[in-house]
Amino acid sequence: MARLIRTEKEVEGRFEEVWLVVEEDPLDPWPDGPGDVVGRPAPRQDGLQRATGKALYTADLQLPGMLQAAVLRSPHARARVKEFDASRALEAPGVHAVLEPEAIPELVREPNFQGQPIAAVAADTLGQARAALALIDVEYEVLEPLLDPEEAVRRGQLLSEPRTFDRGEVESGFAEADVIVEGTYRTQSVLHNSFETHQSLCDWEGDQLSVYISTQFIWGIRDEVSRKLGLPQDKVRVVCNYMGGGFGSKNGAGDYTYIAAELAKRTGRPVKCALTRREENLDSGHRNATIQKLRAGARADGTLTALEGEFIAALGWDGWLASTAGPMQMLYACDNVHTTEYGAKLNISPMKAFRAPGFVEGTFGMECLLDELAAKLEIDPLEIRRRNYADSTDERPYSSKNLMECYERAEKHWERRDEVRARSDATWKHGVGLASQVWYGGGGPPSYAWIRLGSDGRATVVTAMQDIGTGSKTAMQQIAAEELGLPLDRVEISAGDSARGPYASISAGSSTIPSMGPAVRAAAHDAARQVIEIAAQRYDKEERTLSLKGGEVVCSDGGSWPLEEVVGLLEDAQILGKGARGPNPTGMQVLTFGAQVAEVAVDVETGEVRVERVAAIHDVGRVINPLGASSQGEGGIIQGIGHTLSEERLHDPETGRVLTQTLDAYRVPTIADVPEIVFELLDVPDRHLTNLGSKGLGEPPIVPIAAAIANAIRDATGADVRSLPITREEMLRALEEAAQRQRDRDKVTA
Amino acid sequence: MVTELVVNGRRYELDVEVGRSLAEVLREDLSLTGTKIACFEGHCGACTVQVDGIPTMSCITLAHTVDGREVTTIEGLREHPLVNAFVRADAVQCGFCTPAQIVSAAALVEANAHPSDEEIRHAMAGNLCRCGTYPKIEEAIRTWQD
């Protein structure tokens, strides 16, 4: 029976109360540890399609008569279009249509960041469309951009009200402190640079619009497009079969979708609008830069008495204020915490979520500050974390928390310290650092799945979710196989199309497995129940004596029948199972935790930093696919190493223009930058969370890596790096500061 | 301009405008979409094909310049043991760069069946992967004959 409940929904740390229909039958949790399929390594079921190039991404789709769009973008960070004349472009070879400024809301006359769309052209080929852009005569009045986030805060130019958080009395907490440390930490603007650029292919058939799009949220696109274009939801079909990376930047429809839809409407042809790599670096979102002014007070034994932070996020012209203060509020037991967060509205492109938005930046500041505190108190960094272990930070219990176990497992990596430091010579200094991780990742409702079980004893998971490259489709196949007692190769999945399956949740916030997985298990259980009911009647057994295992219906009295024999009674008909995701446990915090230990080498002459080894231990509840999970973990760590050492979107401080528009200038890690990685998961199901006990893993591994590296640098050299990326310049600055400190100390001693 | 392309052992005579890249011709004219374009300026390696056995970025190779030469794309390497090695090792995340990783790796193991880790890193450093599949790519190349 459908029950209507009121529950809290979380995505990327943003909460809202929602009404929810629950149709879930409570299921017994599976036993701990690996089952027949779940918990065992499975290569991705669509791996061959992807590896051989048979998989068709949005970028690969061609429809008959398809036109290509090209977008005229503002070269200025702030300007006003004075003159616009597209008559020469309209007459150019192959051109079918031009959209002028304000033809649709996404094309503007007063751009507020470099790369903001002004106009668009559709032509037979991309080359023709781009050539036509050059024929548009446009004259801008260039206006002065606001680029400095601190100035924006002073002027009150913010995207939302400042957000404050208080626990206890922070000033009395500092009064109790024996030691206070403070520091200003800075993190940079970081680009997703997904390899498949943002793009859509729009095709009208009458009043129905098909949107083929590289997206992390098929249903969100359907909702957004239908709302903005004033169409009934079922007139919008959204398709994403294969997707070339998103990392948080592809949660919405984007300007390109509306440009393609309008051009397709005007020309009567399918139109593709795909960003080039340079456009991708201008206008596809970014992890916003931050300035974090932090202060911590502690007693001599390391117990935190006060934490205080002022955080400025350089969001850009649009976006939302992710919680940079989250780690300071949630990581440790501290009775007195005060944080203030500002989201600066600037003439740079809008931020978009990027793999644990806010927490990646905030963990860098918080965990570096804690190590500076530990150094001042001469307390072991692992020990100070244990001493401040939080059993709760807001009186709500955790649905599960095994961070102490992560610390215990981290110990053997931490104990390599003496051996690692001993490798140092006059030039290369070696050291070890660690950092803790807290983040969301519990997923939530609504999410739905169906199971189709055919008379050949094969099953298909049907749900209109997307697999953004994380292996979530394979995980769903594993969950269905486990519940149906089938080998993995007898379970298919049909996904990626809003017209071909029920509502599925967003693939963001480490939520696909914890949101979708329980719905798939429930659907498989519903199908299994029907098989057992049929078998009980056919073979004259009691239902409670029957179960599904190894592709058979098995009776506790020893009898067994192949599944295809039982389902085969239906001839060509199928058994249909239906499943929904139930609510998260009320009154509990659902979070993921972990710890990472990094080993680095620093060339103190040139400032070069090399990460040599990373050991990561995370707790995300039950692990569905250990092989896919290790790939997620390694990938997050490697992307995080890029964030820490080499990646930065640079803006010209005068004009606001982006100086890093290519994959040459914007440096993502290569295979040669990868250290030894040891990745471990506790694999302890969360007893309070869904019928699976699984949380998400997409984000946790990227959260603590920058702080672990920076803390290893302090261990190796005594220098406090406080700014990302840790370029040679920043490294040399920190070394010089440390040397100066040493000279001052020597003077005092002398 | 009529260009003769030999792709995966098949001969094509194509009327190719001067200035079009090999990547575009493969993808648009021959529907060989396993070759991806991710940057279109020779920085990322997602468009790698072999030209006479040498890994080559097809997005910055003009099609008419490979007239008469042997081009091998991922579609010509589908039976290569590296494909299964990549899938087995889970050296595939979003998969957008994967076909080109395999094209580069195939050239490597053709020249050197047992490359060291250093040799793998050297040969593969031009093929970027934003998902960070690198440890699994190394493993796939190390175990390609298993």
Long-range contacts of A653-660 (CB under 8 A, 24+ apart): A653/A147, A655/A76, A655/A77, A655/A145, A656/A76, A656/A77, A656/A78, A656/A113, A656/A114, A656/A145, A656/A147, A656/A347, A656/A348, A657/A75, A657/A76, A657/A77, A657/A114, A658/A114, A658/A115, A658/A281, A658/A282, A660/A191, A660/A281
Task: Quickly state the pLDDT bin for A2 (edges 50, 70, 90).
Answer: confident
Instruction: Give A-chain residues touching B40 at CB under 8 angstroms.
Output: 276-277
Task: Quickly state the pLDDT bin for A394 (edges 50, 70, 90).
Answer: confident
Measured distance CA(A638)–CA(B131) in Å, rounded: 8
Measured distance CA(A77)–CA(A345) in Å, rounded: 13
DSSP state of A658: B
Give the pLDDT mean for A353-359.
98
A520 is written with which tokens? Answer: 């798939």
Give the pLDDT mean for B95-108.
98
Q: Read out DSSP for A222-283?
A: HHHHHHHHT--GGGEEEE-SB----TTTTSS-HHHHHHHHHHHHHHTS-EEEE--HHHHHHS
Looking at this predicted complex, what is its ipTM? 0.98
Q: Which of B40, B130, B135 sits opposite A674 (nearest CB)?
A: B135
Task: Quickly state the pLDDT bin for A750 (edges 50, 70, 90).
Answer: confident
Q: How many Å lie between the alpha carbon of B84 and the closest alpha carbon of chain A?
A: 7
Residue to mutate among B120, B130, B138, with most A CBs inside 10 A, is B130
Measured distance CA(A352)–CA(A364) in Å, rounded: 19
Q: How many Å lie between the alpha carbon of A55 and the closest alpha carbon of chain B?
A: 8
Sequence-ordered strand ranges (E) for A589-747: 592-603, 609-619, 676-681
DSSP state of B28: I
Q: What's the alpha-carbon Rg for chain B, to the nearest Å?
A: 15
Q: Read out DSSP for A52-94?
A: HT-S-BGGG---TT-EEEEEEE-SSSSEEEEEEE-HHHHTSTT
Residue in A closest to B79 by C-alpha:
A52
Measured distance CA(A93)–CA(A484) in Å, rounded: 58
Residue to mutate among B20, B72, B83, B131, with most A CBs inside 10 A, is B131
| % residues pLDDT > 90 (chain A) | 95
Q: Which of B32, B78, B90 sits opposite A631 (nearest CB)?
A: B90
The mean predicted confidence, pLDDT, of chain A is 97
b/e sequence B65-82, b meaning 16+ C-beta within 10 Å: ebeeeebbbbbbbbebeb
Count Cβ atoms within 10 A of the Cβ of residue B2 and give its class: 0-12 exposed, 13-18 middle, 19 or more buried: exposed
pTM over 0.95: yes
Q: Which of B73, B84, B125 sits opposite A671 (nearest CB)?
A: B125
Between A and B, how many CB-CB pairs are < 8 A?
Answer: 164
pLDDT in tens, A315-324: 999 999 999 9
Q: What angle do CA B123, B127, B132 make, to 5 degrees?
A: 110
Q: Which residues contact A606 (CB under 8 A, 6 or more apart)?
A: A728
pLDDT in tens, A585-608: 989 999 999 999 999 999 999 999
Is the Cβ–Cβ distance between A193 and A281 less than 8 Å?
Answer: yes
pLDDT in tens, A592-648: 999 999 999 999 999 999 999 999 999 999 999 999 999 999 999 999 999 999 999
A371 is written with which tokens? Answer: 């190590």
State whether A53 and B121 contact (CB < 8 Å): no
Task: Quickly state the pLDDT bin for A11 (edges 50, 70, 90).
Answer: confident
B133: pLDDT strictly greater than 70: yes
Quote the pLDDT of residue B46. 98
Which of these, A344, A309, A345, lies nearest to A329 by C-alpha position?
A309
Q: How many Å lie between the alpha carbon of A23 and the closest alpha carbon of chain B?
A: 33
Give the pLDDT mean for B37-57.
98
Measured distance CA(A625)–CA(A366) in Å, rounded: 32
A697 is written with which tokens? Answer: 């893993």
Is the Cβ–Cβ distance between A132 and A121 less than 8 Å?
Answer: yes
Which of these, A640, A616, A727, lies nearest to A361 by C-alpha position?
A640
Is the Cβ–Cβ distance between A515 and A584 less than 8 Å?
Answer: no
Measured distance CA(A551)–CA(A37) in Å, rounded: 12
Q: Which residues contact B43 (CB under 8 A, 6 or more apart)?
A: A277, A662, A663, A664, B128
Instruction: Give A-chain residues touching B44 at CB under 8 angstroms.
Output: 195, 277, 663
Quote the pLDDT of residue A4. 87
A749: pLDDT strictly greater than 90: no
